[in-house]
Structure 1
Amino acid sequence: MSATKTILAAAAESSPTGILKYVPSQGGNYFVGGAYALFSALTFFYVFRRKDFWALCLPIGCLCSAVGFIVRPSIDPYNVSLGLYIIQSMFVVISPAAFLAFNYLLYGRMILAVDKDFGSSNVDAQSLESQPLTATQRITMMKKAGGPKTEKSRFSFIPPRIVGTVFVWSDVITFVVQIAAGGLQATGALNLVDVGDKMFLTGVSLQGASYIFFTLLLTYATVLIIREGARNNAGYIKSDLIMGLEKPVFALVAGLYLSSIFIIIRSIYRIIEFSQGYGGYLVSHEIYLFVLDAAPLLVAVGIWAVMWPSSLLESIFEKRYSGYGHYPLTKSSS
């Protein structure tokens, strides 16, 4: 019994007690880093192949996250290079802000796809009457996010084109706060490190609160889209619909909503982790980084690697708005 106690005591004494309280897992970090690198390559391919330059934030964010996780095993927890630690921490903790920005930018484009009246401010020069946008015009608008910024949609209680601007700027502000926090931590001075910790918590909390509000906005839109789909598509063949929505519409709406839920899971984890400080339980066990940070974000990004939203958007535009027609479903004979 005494031998067992001696072994446990020796193990405790040999455990890292500095800023990093465990030996980073090579297998776990390289796996996550490799997955992010794969998603980065795929999404870069989609962006340049389809000229979706509005979406560049997603592959860039994935690339930065890949670098952060691949660098982690190089950190010696018994002799931590503070600069290396801060660099990898910033890549792992801060770069996912790009994933939030991507979803913010996608929101307005989703509304453009599902709301036939959105864009109706397009005025025909001869008739001087509002004309609905054609599929080609909607695709052009999707690429460039053009049109009046204040135009409203019945699916959104905030003008859709303003949503991207407002929330991306909130993302930028919280990003800057977290960068400044990382700079204070890098000084190594105990009083500044403590201030940096609190700033990190503030930045992550504001970012999480902002995204939760965005998800409430998305929930409102999702409910209205499903309700209208069920009403307008009543009588169409059920195999062509999911929850009353055409399949590409359902995939787009469900993908954005599911991605948002996993981002919120990760945000809650980070808020709790930073509130506990560097002596907290979560920051002292790497498994939680993989399960509650990496895994949810990989799902949130992987959704778009599997079904690139621009493809879904163009499919909806072409089927719904070519010749100003509705999605050409076949009515059931019953």
Structure 2
Amino acid sequence: MSEHGDFVFYHYTPNLFAAVLFTLLFGASTGYHAFQLVRTRTWSFIPLLIGGIFQIMGYIGRILSHYDTESLGPYIMQTLLLLVAPALFAASIYMILGRLIALLDGEKHSLIRLRWLTKIFVAGDIFSFTLQAGGGGMMAQGADGMKNGERLVLVGLFVQIIFFGFFFLASVVFHRRINRNPTGVSLSLANSAFSFKTSWIGLLYALYASSVAILIRSIFRTIEYIQGNSGYLLKNEIWLYLFDAVLMLAVMVIFNWVYPAAVLQERRPVRSREGYECEDNSTEMA
């Protein structure tokens, strides 16, 4: 346990096994994401890939802290990178909904016009990321910046919760509306899907699951920062792994399994005299 003024880096010695385990698990998922991204040229998933790299580096920071709990560098490394990585996940996730709505010819069912949908959510995510990263940077200055940094991080987390909550609502509303009044494209794609994970319905449920995981994690982090450095959550390492590591790994694995390119890229609907048909057309997905 190291103290800097009234601020304590750790109330425990970080568990080595857990840190190594999640370094390896995030490494495996991130490596597979890199393969999927390059193979399908799904450039919109670059933020998620970078977020995975941040997770790996963050848990490496915890490994280093296991051997030296008084070192500021590893502490800031794990604090900052694990804090902001989900905002990068969110950036990629936000881009999926707009592309899916466009693919299904379902703009009339969307809460927000397509030209604004992705822009609004990504702008909110950038704002949240900037606040959290700025707060983390202030905390890196030492004891004098810890309190102000924590407050700025807290604001960033509230912004993340608000935008992700609205994103989840927008996804549910669109899903309900297109189920009640399906488009020709949505019916054609649903009928042509080879499996759940290659269907637009499967992709929507992946959005739901990942959104809920990030929301729960953000609420956990918010409570953690409200409690402060001497709070119960920061004194017990298990909660970091249960409500952050496990949930964020789940987000990455979900999109390893239900990869957006399988829905948004490989089977594009084309109009014919008989209606909508699907053709295999593997092209770049921006």
Structure 1 distance, partners of 2:197, 2:276, is 11
Residue 262 in structure 1 maps to residue 252 in structure 2: no
Give the superposed CA RMSD: 2.9
Structure 2 distance, partners of 1:186, 1:160, is 39
Structure 1 distance, partners of 2:119, 2:202, is 24
Structure 1 distance, partners of 2:210, 2:246, is 12
Match of 1:326 in 2: 276
Which has the greater radius of gyration? 1
Residue 201 in structure 1 maps to residue 154 in structure 2: yes
- Describe how 1:226-305 pairs up with structure 2 within 5 A: 226-229=179-182, 248-305=199-256
Deviation at 1:247, TM superposition (A): 6.6
Residue identity matched to 2:122: V
Residue identity matched to 1:321: V
Gaps of 5+ in 2: 279-286
**Judging changes above 3 Å, is the alpha-carbon distance between structure 1 residues 246 and 74 closer, same or farther for their aligned structure 2 residues?**
closer
Deviation at 1:269, TM superposition (A): 0.7
- In structure 2, which of residues 52, 62, 65 is the aligned counterpart of residue 62 of structure 1? 52
Residue 53 in structure 1 maps to residue 50 in structure 2: no
Note if contact 1:36-1:298 (Cα within 8 Å) is conserved in structure 2. Answer: yes
Structure 1 distance, partners of 2:56, 2:186, is 43
TM-score with structure 1 setting the length: 0.73
Residue identity matched to 2:232: Y
- In structure 2, which of residues 131, 143, 151 is the aligned counterpart of residue 189 of structure 1? 143
Residue 93 in structure 1 maps to residue 93 in structure 2: no
Structure 2 distance, partners of 1:208, 1:80, is 32
Match of 1:179 in 2: 133
- 1:189-245 per-position Cα deviation (integer Å, ceiling 9, x unaligned): 34x2111111111111111111111111111112112223499999x9x9989xxx9
Higher share of residues assigned strand: 2
Give the share of equivalent positions with the same residue, in percent: 28
Higher share of residues assigned helix: 2
Residue identity matched to 1:263: I
Structure 2 distance, partners of 1:105, 1:162, is 11
Deviation at 1:72, TM superposition (A): 0.4
Note if contact 2:271-2:277 (Cα within 8 Å) is conserved in structure 1. Answer: no
Note if contact 2:198-2:262 (Cα within 8 Å) is conserved in structure 1. Answer: no
SS at match of 1:326: strand
How many pairs are equivalent? 271
Structure 2 distance, partners of 1:76, 1:205, is 30
Residue identity matched to 2:32: L
Match of 1:141 in 2: none
Deviation at 1:307, TM superposition (A): 2.1
Structure scoring higher RCO (CA < 8 A, sep ≥ 6) equals 2
Note if contact 1:42-1:305 (Cα within 8 Å) is conserved in structure 2. Answer: yes
Match of 1:24 in 2: 14
**Judging changes above 3 Å, is the alpha-carbon distance between structure 1 residues 36 and 246 closer, same or farther for their aligned structure 2 residues?**
closer
- Describe how 1:71-82 pairs up with structure 2 within 5 A: 71-76=61-66, 79-82=69-72
Deviation at 1:36, TM superposition (A): 1.3
Gaps of 5+ in 1: 1-14, 119-152, 329-334
Deviation at 1:68, TM superposition (A): 0.5
Note if contact 2:55-2:85 (Cα within 8 Å) is conserved in structure 1. Answer: yes
TM-score with structure 2 setting the length: 0.85
Residue identity matched to 1:30: V
Residue identity matched to 2:57: V
- Describe how 1:114-153 pairs up with structure 2 within 5 A: 114-115=104-105, 153=107
Deviation at 1:104, TM superposition (A): 0.5
Deviation at 1:154, TM superposition (A): 1.2
Structure 2 distance, partners of 1:308, 1:246, is 8
**Judging changes above 3 Å, is the alpha-carbon distance between structure 1 residues 303 and 78 closer, same or farther for their aligned structure 2 residues?**
closer
Note if contact 1:248-1:316 (Cα within 8 Å) is conserved in structure 2. Answer: no
Deviation at 1:323, TM superposition (A): 3.6
Structure 2 distance, partners of 1:185, 1:232, is 50
Note if contact 2:104-2:186 (Cα within 8 Å) is conserved in structure 1. Answer: no
